[in-house]
Amino acid sequence: MVPGGCLCGKIKYELNDGDYTAGLCHCSICRINTGSAFSTNLFVPVSSFHLLSAPETVSRFEIDGTRTGSGFPSVMCFCSSCGTTLWAEPQNPEYAGMEIIKAGTVADRAWLEKQALKVELFKEDGLAWVGDLVGKEKA
């Protein structure tokens, strides 16, 4: 099992060990949510994600489809105590059955290093100065 959690420790989760797709997202929602130029995500099947904290510790913010790059709503799941966003639950059928884990919340750095960065989403919406920082083609 691979541990993860928020800054204050109120929300903890585990992922099954495995090889997941890692992807950057440059959409405006991710920029605001992370306070950064892009988000870094792991695409994990729901069956491989285990919330260890009580479900009521997780706060949810739904973004309606008029604001997302995909046109589908998405739900950001975060800790109301420390503000960390831990995962998103996209309503896009393309991601049915997947949790989009915010990669920075994974506590095992060595494990995270082994996950393959494969995609960049909404690169056209991103900041030009990010450039080809990761040297990957647009998905």
Which residues, at least 6 apart from 34, have a Cβ–Cβ distance to it below 8 Å?
85, 102
Q: Which of 21, 57, 59, 81 binds Zn ion (CB under 5 A)?
A: 81
Residues 117, 136: Cα–Cα separation, whole Å: 8
Cβ distance to Zn ion smaller for residue 30 or 42: 30
Cβ distance to Zn ion smaller for residue 47 or 71: 71
Segment near Zn ion (CB under 5 A), from 16-24, 52-60, 82-90, 130-138?
82-90
Let me know: does 100 contact 81? Beta carbons within 8 Å. Answer: no
Site for Zn ion in 13-42 (CB under 5 A): 25, 27, 30
Residues 26, 23: Cα–Cα separation, whole Å: 10
- Which residues contribute to the site for Zn ion (CB under 5 A)? 6, 8, 10, 25, 27, 30, 79, 81-82
